[in-house]
Structure formats: C-alpha cells, structure tokens
Amino acid sequence: MSEVIVVTSGKGGVGKTTVTANIGCGLAMMGHKVALIDADTGLRNLDVVLGLENRIVYDLTDVIAGNCRLRQALIKDKRYEGLHLLPTAQTKDKSAVQPEHMISLSEELRDLFDYVILDCPAGIEQGFKSAIAAAEKAIVVTTPEVAAIRDADRVIGLLESSGLNDPKVIINRMRTKMVDRGDMMSIEDILDILGIELLGVIPDDEQIIVGTNRGEPIVGNDESLSGKAFRNIVMRILGEPVPLLNLEPNQGFFLKLKKIIGFK
Amino acid sequence: MLDFITRLFSRESPGSKSIAKERLRLVLVHDRANVSPQLLQLLRADLIQVISNYMEIDEENLDVSLEKYEDQVALVANIPVKRMKRVASS
Ligand SMILES: Nc1ncnc2c1ncn2[C@@H]1O[C@H](COP(=O)(O)OP(=O)(O)OP(=O)(O)O)[C@@H](O)[C@H]1O
Ligand SMILES: [Mg+2]
C-alpha cells in the first residue's frame, strides 16, 4: 500500500524542496513511515532544509556504487518519529544517478516505508528523468507567475507522456493582496490554464524562510498560516477532503464589502 | 448604483494579472503545438477525412499551421479544392 511520489516543477526555486520537506514531516507527524529522497544530485538541499546536514555519512551515490547498504545511508530524524532522509552527493553530477538506479532504490524503500517522496532537481534533464522514472504519483509545484506556470505546463506534458497521469498542482507563494488588486493570477486562473487538479495553496510567508534558517519545516508550527496550509495538503494526500484555507484571515473592511456585493 | 460601487472599488487600469494570463495563454498555444508536432499531423489527417466527404482536395498541397498575430493565434488551413461533390440536400 505504499506510495512513491515525485515533487517536481520545471522552473527552479519555486519551492520543490520546501514542499518535500514539509509534506514529509507532516506525514510523519500523522504517524506514517516516510522516506525522503534528495534527487537533486550535485546541489543537495533537502538535508539543510530538514536540519539533518550534520548527520550525513553515506549518500545515494554510495548506495548505487555499492559502498554501503541502503539502511546505512538512511538518516533517521530525531524529532519526527518515522521520518528518514536519503541524502544525495554534493560533489558528483546528475549523471551518477540513472533511472534504473532510482527505480530499484525506491522499490527497496517502498517495502520499508508508507511514503517515499522524491525531491526533483529543476529542469527536465537527467536528474528529472531519473526521479520521475521511479514514481507512481506526481506533485507539480508552481508559483503564480508566467514563467513558472509555463514550465509547469511543459512538465505536466512530460509526466503524462511517461505514464504519470493526473499529476496534482501545489500553488506556492500566493499573495492574496496582489490577487485582490488584479496584479497576480488567481487560483482559478492557474487551474484553468493548467487543467489539472489542485492539491493545495501555500501563501508567501516569511516564516517559511525562518523555518528553513533553523532547519525546522514550518508544518510543525501550529501558529503559522503556511504551516496550516501544509497540514491541509498532508490530509489531502491521506485522502481527507479538506476545504481550501482562507489565506487572508484579517482582510480589510473594503475587501469584505467587495465580496458581499459579489464584485470581483 | 451598483455601477457606481463597482467604479469606486475597482482600479482604473485592469492590473497586470490579465496581461500575464493573456501572454501565458498565447505562449502555451505555441509550446503545446511545438512539443507535439504529431498534434498538427493528426489534425491534418482528420481534416482530410472530414473534408473529403464534401469535396475532392489536393492532399499533397494541403497546408495546416498555427500563425501568430499581435494578440491571437490562428489555425490557418490552406486546402486546394479539386472538385466539389454533389451532396444531396436533405
Ligand atoms: N511559500 C513561501 N514563502 C516564502 N518563501 C518561500 C516559500 N516557498 C519557498 N520559499 C523560499 O524560496 C526559496 C526556494 O525554495 P526551494 O529551495 O524549496 O525551491 P526549489 O524548487 O527546491 O529550488 P531548486 O529548483 O533550486 O531545487 C527558499 O529560500 C525558500 O525558503
Ligand atoms: Mg530544491
């Protein structure tokens, strides 16, 4: 019953690693056994976002080369019971990891974990191809900007042509105030263009950067809005139909009035 | 009255979102067509099939393409007709 999910985007810097870390911690908080694979060989990030960078001994490329066993390379998170990281190499290049390596690794991991989540590199080259080869479900991360949505569209096409049908989208860094004044595409606009289902919307939130600075993903923070947004996404992955979060809890009077009179 | 409220709360210019959405729409027409050139090939084959019910066409010189204008993309088909069929009116 375990699932192998790839988190991808096409465009760089839109939030793949942040999403992977938060979904992983969130699923572990709900009592699931989770393995996160950093598939961004050469530019490893997931370890620092999770605060596990000091505990790495072996990595993905060591497992592939046979320098160690898979279990030796897995880092167990001490805060979240059940959460494990398979880090990648910072000094090798993406071609060190071929699709067949990823497939056999995730096959092995799926026997040990409920969820295996792969953090894709940016782009649509080797690293992307290896990561999607191993997955059976895909999450596409985008921001509400032309270039990011364009690349998301390209990636959706590539996912579908390699058999990963109906990927779900996460819209990251949403700024409700900008949408309200007509300077940012809305959730509906983006879904209309991409034509795929929504998994969730994450507000643009400086607390995410604070969390990343500390190596503590925001999903564990009860107070923050983005933490709540990630917890909702986790519930949806677990099959609970959670309604969309209102991203602007303290809207001004005029905004409310606009909504009451049905003016968009 | 509603019109007045509408004007009161909306800004004069439509905002950059509509520009973004329109640009994205146009760029994706091209991206999707370029990514799968088979798409136009398939369309071409289907067109020939449908049109042949009504007229005899010069398949060799049939041309189907997407053309970009200032603010829209058009599907342009140039289909030389050899002969019309005699279709019985119902
Ligand atoms: N919702 C958000 N609000 C504010 N900052 C964010 C948000 N999401 C991501 N960020 C910040 O944006 C930066 C890029 O995020 P991240 O590293 O997750 O992107 P990525 O898609 O994995 O990048 P790459 O393509 O380089 O792997 C990070 O500094 C992160 O903290
Ligand atoms: Mg990343």
Task: For residue range B35-84, list pLDDT tens digits in order.
Answer: 777 888 888 999 999 999 999 999 999 988 888 777 778 888 999 999 98
> Which member of B2, B16, B28 has the closest CB to residue A150?
B28
Is the Cβ pair A257, B9 closer than 8 Å?
yes
For residue B33, what are the contacts with CB-CB under 8 A and spacing of at least 6? B39, B40, B66
pLDDT over 70, % of chain A: 94
For residue A46, what are the contacts with CB-CB under 8 A and spacing of at least 6? A17, A20, A21, A36, A38, A40, A85, A87, A119
> Which member of B21, B24, B35 has the closest CB to residue A154?
B35
Mean predicted confidence (pLDDT) in A222-228: 95
Q: Show residues of chain B in contact with A186, CB under 8 Å.
A: 17
Tell which atom from ligand 1 comes closest to the C-alpha of A21: 18
What does the pLDDT read at residue A245? Answer: 85
Does the CB of B23 have a partner CB in chain A at under 8 Å? yes
pLDDT at A199 over 50: yes
Q: In this structure, is residue B33 part of a structural domain?
A: yes
Residues 124-163 of A with CB under 8 A from B: 145-146, 149-150, 153-154, 157
Does the CB of B88 have a partner CB in chain A at under 8 Å? no
Query: Ligand 1: which residue has its CA nearest to atom 13?
Result: A13
Helical segments of chain A, H only: 16-29, 46-50, 60-65, 70-73, 99-110, 126-134, 146-161, 176-180, 187-194, 206-214, 225-237, 253-260
CATH number, position A139: 3.40.50.300
Q: In this structure, is residue B60 part of a structural domain?
A: yes
What does the pLDDT read at residue B86? Answer: 80
Q: In this structure, is residue B79 part of a structural domain?
A: yes
Q: Which domain holds residue B66?
A: 2-84
Instruction: Say how many domains are in chain A.
Output: 1
Q: For residue A150, give how far its alpha carbon lies from the nearest alpha carbon of chain B (Å).
A: 7
pLDDT at B8 over 60: no
Is the Cβ pair A153, B28 closer than 8 Å?
yes
- What is the Cα–Cα distance from B43 to B23, expressed in whole angstroms? 25
**Probe target for ligand 1 pocket from A7, A18, A119, with the most ligand atoms within 8 Å of CB:** A18
Is the Cβ pair B11, A181 closer than 8 Å?
yes
> Which member of B9, B15, B23 has the closest CB to residue A146?
B23
Q: Which domain holds residue A249?
A: 3-261
Q: In this structure, is residue B38 part of a structural domain?
A: yes
Give CA separation, A41 vs A46, A74, A235, in Å. 11, 16, 30
What does the pLDDT read at residue A36? Answer: 98
pLDDT-based confidence at B34, cuts 50/70/90?
A: confident
pLDDT at A58 over 80: yes
- What is the Cα–Cα distance from A39 to A95, expressed in whole angstroms? 11
Mutate to test the interface with B, among A189, A257, A259, A264 (most CBs of B within 10 A): A189
The size of the A-B interface in CB pairs under 8 A is: 51
For residue A233, what are the contacts with CB-CB under 8 A and spacing of at least 6? A22, A23, A26, A170, A199, A200, A202
Instruction: Say how many domains are in chain B.
Output: 1
pLDDT tens-digit map of A64-78:
999 999 999 999 999
Expressed in angstroms and rounded, the spacing between residue A49 Cα and the centre of ligand 1 is 10
Q: Which residue has the higher pLDDT, A248 or A150?
A: A150
